Structure 1
Amino acid sequence: MHDRDSLLLHWARRISGDANLQLTLISGDASFRRYFRGAGLVWVDANPKTEKNHEFVRNASALTQGGLLAPEVQAVDYEQGLLAVTDLGDTQLISCLDSHNVQAWYDKAIALLPRLGAVELALDPFDEAFMAREDSIFPEWLLGHRLQLTLSESEQQLLADTFSCLTANNLAQPQGVMHRDFHSRNLMVCGGDSPETSTLAVIDFQDMVIGPLSYDLVSLLKDCYVRWSDDVIEQGMRHGFATLSEAKLLAEIDYGSFRRHADLTGMQRHLKATGIFARLCHRDGKSGYLKDIPRTLGYVVDVCRLHGDKYPVLSRFGVWLQSNILPAIERVGASA
């Protein structure tokens, strides 16, 4: 038995009081966490060398107090990186979505955003320094490690100017608590199998920060793992804007400005995500996310085309992506 498997099993037996308890592996995820089921709970192997266990426990409590359904922590060993949390089942929202019901499900998810944005937590700000760290992932891991590209001075300047534009956009928006990974794989469907009969639970929330309130909405609607029609995205954007406005979280911003903010916010997120997908492959040996890179960059190209007139740097960046980067991605393919 793997050392950490044995460590978790012995801890679970002690916590549960069942000396014969057996754990069944549920899954791993994009991090180094692994999940097991037993005695009515989910047992988490979350190595403290890589995982934010203190933040997870703190945020779980705050989300629950804010009226959101989230895993409740029943026991934790911070030193060893072991947790026991309530079991929310196996049904991720992504498995329920189709072209006929996606709007109803998304409306249900959007209804969570005012409560999420208003959660009372002292969190790090999604500020210029934070975004600079995120922005470095795209050139280092996708352009460098994955595509083996060396950028010219003009290309480096184009990248710097593009990220400067996106950073200014994110800082100029109404701010609040943001999940940072609010999408259909991190929402669990509980208690039913339809939008009318179920409750959505939030998971994977240890990375929450204070940042632009459009971030989680665009993360949901422009999902890295599934793409819906422009009509679905537009309807969701309008519904999200109305929902956040009614909660008095958006001040006096109009829909046109909000949509533009959200699109650029999504672009910053999607560039980071493509770098993370490459890093998961080349650093962590997880190649399954490579297939999501073209879809995710497709959102970026769309934003550059849609808003290039107002932001000429985005127009130049979009042309560069289509001319240089997308063909290189096609050449290397989706295998490790």
Structure 2
Amino acid sequence: MIISQTPEGGGYRIKKLAGDASLRKYYRVNHGSDSFVLMHTEPFEESSYDTLLVHNFLERAGVPVPKMLAVEGVKGTILQEDLGDRTMLHQLAEAQGAENFEEIETALFKESLRLLADFHSSTAKPQGEKPVPGFSLAFDEEKLLWEVDFTIEHLFGSYLKRGLSEKEQESIRTPFEDICRRLAAEPRVFTHRDYHSRNLMLPESGTSHDGKLVCIDFQDARMGLRAYDLASILRDSYYQLSEEKVYALVDYYFDLAKKEEAGIDRAHFIKMFDLMSVQRNFKAIGSFTSFYGKRNDAMYIRFVGNTFENIRRNLAKFPEYKELRKLLFRYYYF
């Protein structure tokens, strides 16, 4: 057994932690001066469990991830190192009001983008080589459009309780088909898929990660365009950056990526970033409203408004999607 099953047994102290948006449960396990985190989920086959496969691949590639200390697939448990409670989002919140907040904010986001650029470059593999199942999966047109349909179902059905006619659904879906087609045609890298301020831990200095950002929640990684992860972090539903800073940071990442991938055009890259932000934010709204509809979990509903505003602002940069912007605005706000 990884741990005693009772808090009093064997000198263990066990405390339930706030979970993520999944059904996984997390516990802090203290034993003397040692501290660990236990993840509990449904039983799984260790040799084919995505969390373990992706973790081991990323660890070998040099991407900072939590150390896995013990695994019992039959019990659905993984014991891993304790990175503490401080996420990048927590650090940003704590810094609010500081005289040098702008410098702290910029430094944190630049660190996250250096890590992202390293993630994309260190996981690159020759064509045809597929070290983990995610290399056989991609944000192709079908997958991107599936995410759009998912959001249409849950935003208008589960949350707004607004029945859309077939014609209304097609008026939303048709321009998104074009958006997804354009995005799917872009070159692909191995993406984290959920790269944002809540999925970047900031352990204390002096730990094995020496106070540097560490990736978590990477089990759904798959192939996609660079802008997918970039939109996730810079157009984060949980944290709003000024548009001026967003584009300064896009430039910062672009210069890092250009070292690895020659021939990237800056203007086109920025345009695809804005377009990816529309689709990525739309999918985030689908996730938030599905939690509400499926699990009666309203915790994420408060992020829908900011995320919707991101979509409206970015669609305004594409005259060809003017009607989509008007439709979404009308259906959501009225």
Range into which the TM-score falls when normalised by the shorter chain:
0.7 to 0.9
Checking the alignment, whether the CA contact within 8 Å between 2:117 and 2:253 is kept in structure 1 is no
**Which residue in the other structure is 1:296 paired with?**
307
**Which residue in the other structure is 1:63 paired with?**
58
**Which residue in the other structure is 1:42 paired with?**
37
**Which residue in the other structure is 1:331 paired with?**
none
Quick one: distance in 2 between partners of 1:79 and 1:133?
Answer: 32
Aligned to 1:254, which of 251, 262, 265? 265
Matches within 5 A, 1:1-336: 11-13=2-4, 19-38=10-29, 39=31, 40-48=35-43, 54-97=49-92, 98=96, 99-100=101-102, 101-118=104-121, 119=123, 121-122=131-132, 123=134, 124-192=137-205, 198-248=211-261, 251-308=262-319, 312=320, 314-327=321-334
Helix, strand or coil for the counterpart of 2:80? strand
RMSD: 2.1
Checking the alignment, whether the CA contact within 8 Å between 2:145 and 2:177 is kept in structure 1 is no
| Letter of the 2:118 counterpart | R
Residue 20 to residue 198, structure 1, CA distance change in 2 (3 Å): closer
| Letter of the 2:87 counterpart | Q
Residue 71 to residue 53, structure 1, CA distance change in 2 (3 Å): farther
| Letter of the 1:198 counterpart | G
Instruction: State the percentage of identical aligned residues.
Output: 26
Checking the alignment, whether the CA contact within 8 Å between 2:2 and 2:79 is kept in structure 1 is no
Checking the alignment, whether the CA contact within 8 Å between 2:231 and 2:276 is kept in structure 1 is yes
Quick one: distance in 1 between partners of 2:70 and 2:292?
Answer: 33
Quick one: distance in 2 between partners of 1:87 and 1:200?
Answer: 14
Checking the alignment, whether the CA contact within 8 Å between 1:186 and 1:202 is kept in structure 2 is yes
Quick one: distance in 2 between partners of 1:132 and 1:165?
Answer: 10
| Letter of the 2:219 counterpart | Q
Helix, strand or coil for the counterpart of 1:283? helix
Checking the alignment, whether the CA contact within 8 Å between 1:169 and 1:265 is kept in structure 2 is no
Consecutive aligned runs of 4 or more in structure 1 exceeding 3 Å deviation: none
Checking the alignment, whether the CA contact within 8 Å between 1:53 and 1:81 is kept in structure 2 is no
**Which residue in the other structure is 1:330 paired with?**
none
What TM-score comes out, normalization by structure 1 length? Answer: 0.85
Checking the alignment, whether the CA contact within 8 Å between 2:15 and 2:27 is kept in structure 1 is yes
Quick one: distance in 1 between partners of 2:2 and 2:60?
Answer: 28
- Number of residue pairs aligned between Structure 1 and Structure 2: 304
| Letter of the 1:294 counterpart | G
| Letter of the 2:20 counterpart | D
Runs of 5+ consecutive residues of structure 2 not aligned to the other structure: 126-130
- Structure 1 residue 19: Cα displacement: 3.0
| Letter of the 1:34 counterpart | K
| Letter of the 1:56 counterpart | T
Checking the alignment, whether the CA contact within 8 Å between 1:53 and 1:206 is kept in structure 2 is no
What TM-score comes out, normalization by structure 2 length? Answer: 0.85
Checking the alignment, whether the CA contact within 8 Å between 2:148 and 2:173 is kept in structure 1 is no
- Structure 1 residue 48: Cα displacement: 4.2
Quick one: distance in 2 between partners of 1:156 and 1:252?
Answer: 38
Checking the alignment, whether the CA contact within 8 Å between 2:201 and 2:216 is kept in structure 1 is yes
Q: Deviations over 1:37-83 (max 9, x none)?
A: 1142111112248xx98111111111111212111221222233111
- Structure 1 residue 152: Cα displacement: 2.8
- Structure 1 residue 198: Cα displacement: 2.8
Quick one: distance in 1 between partners of 2:71 and 2:156?
Answer: 39
Helix, strand or coil for the counterpart of 1:79? helix
**Which residue in the other structure is 1:5 paired with?**
none
- Structure 1 residue 138: Cα displacement: 0.9
Quick one: distance in 2 between partners of 1:234 and 1:27?
Answer: 33
Quick one: distance in 1 between partners of 2:220 and 2:277?
Answer: 17
Checking the alignment, whether the CA contact within 8 Å between 1:41 and 1:87 is kept in structure 2 is yes
Helix, strand or coil for the counterpart of 2:317? helix
